[in-house]
A and B are shown apart, each in its own frame.
Chain A
Amino acid sequence: MEFQFQFDWQAAINAIPFLAKGIPYTLMISFGGLAIGFLLGILFGLLSINKNWFLRWPAITYIEIFRGTPILVQVLFIFYGLPDLIGAPIDPLTAGIAAIALNSGAYISEVVRGGVQSIDKGQNEAGLSLGLSRTQTFWSIIWPQAFRRMIPPLGNQAIVSIKDTSLFSVIGVGELVRQGQVYIASTFTAFEVYFVVALMYLAITLSLSLVLRLVERRGLASI
């Protein structure tokens, strides 16, 4: 018996409206999580290079824990584990955003640390010798330069985090993959549905890459 597989375009097109309902969730979890992760990254990244050991070690501990464990375990821990501790359930959306925030925050901390440390010592000395305080020197001289260098790795992290949200179907949040699974359960068109899901991720990540390329070009023009 010969087996012939035919890509069913109609099935793929029919799936789009249902799958598209997952996009807002994917975007909300990714960008909500990344926004918080960015703030965590600045905070813990700067703490991790502080001269004071008591500020440095909690930051390094946080970074190592969240870089060293799988994000899937992190989200399961937050969604199923934490409620036992706090005595209240956590909704899947919140758990997803928290997982992206904490996870990307750890990686962004390293991006921030690397960016700041890549700036020549002479910049700091020039600022101080002009009479600027350490804080003024950092925020008006070091940070703007470091931030420009951080844009490509930040973009990279954003793309990784967007894709990481696909794992959160396990906690039942209605993002893209979850929508796909639900749809397939009644139509059995796995090939077409995952194909469309993949295209939707690609559309999101490619748009982001494009925006980042434009930002980078503008930012670097002056250096």
Chain B
Amino acid sequence: MTQIVKMKGMNKHFGKLHVLKSIDLTVEQGEVVVIIGASGSGKSTLIRCVNGLEEYESGILEVDNHPLAPKAGNQKTLAEIRKGVGMVFQQFNLFPHLTVKKNIMLAPMKVKSASQVIANATAERLLERVGIGDQADKYPSQLSGGQQQRVAIARALAMEPKLMLFDEPTSALDPEMIGEVLDVMRELAKDGMTMMVVTHEMGFAREVADRVIYIHEGKIVEEGNPSEVFDNPQNERTQAFLSRVLAH
């Protein structure tokens, strides 16, 4: 088994706030790991460390066999890691000045020096894959939230990542659009993509996750397959959290 992410004793502070407390976590190739926890518990910070959007202070982090040292690490390593790790944000973060297709073509052309023709073909294929092949020449603002998030997924996939990070990809969406984004993610998982997903969609977690992790105040307090975590949580914090979110 290949480990795509390896964290050992990772610590991170924001000033005095100890946000990640001695995190041990590994993600195997092809695994879907869903991270749950209350708002402010450190879920975003955890996955943002994986592609170096946040620095950490101590411990070990290896992504796809590249060790990323604490405190910014090495710029070359960082670039190498980011090429192989896609990220999807809660607020989509599409580039508003570029058409949908150009959003997807940008990184392959700039980072991998892909030709216009190749990048274009990739973009068209990926837009088909996420079900919006007919929107290629529109600008992001002309699309619905669900469509925008699917473009964001296609944009990340264009770099052919080994790992995809999702930070609450459906939290900014109107309820009727959540399903279309989760469907795309479900397909990705089925195709064997390695994924780390922060979400409050417990149904999705139960169905798609190989492993569920519950974080409380920067600490992993529960970890297991979905039925272990959801049906038989060991930690009382997890029990309390689940009874709160599953209640409605």
Residues of A near any B CB (own CB < 8 A) = 120, 122-123, 125-126, 128-133, 136, 140-141, 144-145, 148, 222-223
Q: Is the interface of A mostly helix, strand, loop or mixed?
A: helix
A123, A125, A130: the one contacting B107 at CB < 8 Å is: A130
Q: Find out whether the CB atom of B91 lies under 8 angstroms from the CB atom of A129.
A: no
Q: Find out whether the CB atom of B139 lies under 8 angstroms from the CB atom of A223.
A: yes
Which A-B residue pairs are the 9 nearest by beta carbons? Answer: A126-B93, A130-B107, A122-B93, A129-B87, A131-B83, A131-B111, A131-B82, A144-B97, A223-B96
Most buried by A among B89, B91, B96, B159: B96
Confirm or deny: B79 has a beta carbon within 8 angstroms of a beta carbon on chain A: yes
* Interface size of B in residues (CB-CB distance below 8 Å): 25
Complex CA gap A85/B79 in Å reads 49
Q: Indicate with 1 or 0, residue by residue over B15-43, a CB within 8 angstroms of chain A CB atoms.
A: 00000000000000000000000000000
Q: Indicate with 1 or 0, residue by residue over B148-177, a CB within 8 angstroms of chain A CB atoms.
A: 000000011001000000000000000000
Complex CA gap A214/B107 in Å reads 31
Q: Find out whether the CB atom of A130 lies under 8 angstroms from the CB atom of B159.
A: yes
B96, B111, B139: the one contacting A130 at CB < 8 Å is: B111
Q: Chain A's nearest CB lies how many Å from the CB of B81? A: 9
Q: Find out whether the CB atom of A122 lies under 8 angstroms from the CB atom of B91.
A: yes
Complex CA gap A136/B83 in Å reads 14
Q: Find out whether the CB atom of A128 lies under 8 angstroms from the CB atom of B82.
A: yes
Chain A residues closer than 8 Å to B156, beta-carbon distance: 129-130
- Give chain B interface residues in 88-112, CB to chain A under 8 Å: 89, 91, 93-97, 106-107, 110-111
Chain A residues closer than 8 Å to B53, beta-carbon distance: 125, 128-129
- The chain A residue sitting closest to B103, CB to CB, is A126
Q: Quick one: given A122-B93, A125-B93, A126-B89, are A131 and B141 in contact (CB under 8 Å)?
A: no
Chain B residues closer than 8 Å to A140, beta-carbon distance: 106, 110
Chain B residues closer than 8 Å to A128, beta-carbon distance: 51-53, 82
Q: Quick one: given A128-B53, A222-B97, are A122 and B82 in contact (CB under 8 Å)?
A: no
Chain A residues closer than 8 Å to B141, beta-carbon distance: 223
15 A-B pairs, CB-CB below 8 angstroms? Answer: A123-B93, A125-B89, A126-B89, A128-B52, A129-B51, A129-B53, A130-B107, A130-B159, A131-B82, A132-B106, A132-B110, A133-B79, A141-B106, A145-B95, A222-B139
Chain B residues closer than 8 Å to A133, beta-carbon distance: 79
Chain A residues closer than 8 Å to B96, beta-carbon distance: 145, 222-223
Q: Chain B's nearest CB lies how many Å from the CB of A96? A: 36
- The chain B residue sitting closest to A121, CB to CB, is B93
Q: Find out whether the CB atom of A123 lies under 8 angstroms from the CB atom of B95.
A: yes
Chain A residues closer than 8 Å to B52, beta-carbon distance: 128
- The chain B residue sitting closest to A137, CB to CB, is B110
Chain A residues closer than 8 Å to B110, beta-carbon distance: 132, 136, 140
Chain B residues closer than 8 Å to A145, beta-carbon distance: 95-97
B51, B89, B95: the one contacting A141 at CB < 8 Å is: B95
Q: Chain A's nearest CB lies how many Å from the CB of B53? A: 6
- The chain B residue sitting closest to A130, CB to CB, is B107
Confirm or deny: B86 has a beta carbon within 8 angstroms of a beta carbon on chain A: yes
Q: Find out whether the CB atom of B86 lies under 8 angstroms from the CB atom of A129.
A: yes
Complex CA gap A11/B89 in Å reads 69
Q: Chain A's nearest CB lies how many Å from the CB of B105? A: 11
Complex CA gap A123/B96 in Å reads 9
Q: Chain A's nearest CB lies how many Å from the CB of B209? A: 22
Chain A residues closer than 8 Å to B87, beta-carbon distance: 125-126, 129
Q: Chain B's nearest CB lies how many Å from the CB of A122? A: 4
- The chain B residue sitting closest to A148, CB to CB, is B97
Confirm or deny: B85 has a beta carbon within 8 angstroms of a beta carbon on chain A: yes
Complex CA gap A133/B111 in Å reads 8
Complex CA gap A122/B85 in Å reads 17
Chain B residues closer than 8 Å to A125, beta-carbon distance: 53, 87, 89, 93
Complex CA gap A122/B96 in Å reads 12
Chain B residues closer than 8 Å to A129, beta-carbon distance: 51, 53, 82, 85-87, 156
- The chain A residue sitting closest to B48, CB to CB, is A125
Chain A residues closer than 8 Å to B82, beta-carbon distance: 128-131
Complex CA gap A163/B85 in Å reads 53
Q: Find out whether the CB atom of B159 lies under 8 angstroms from the CB atom of A223.
A: no
Chain B residues closer than 8 Å to A123, beta-carbon distance: 93, 95
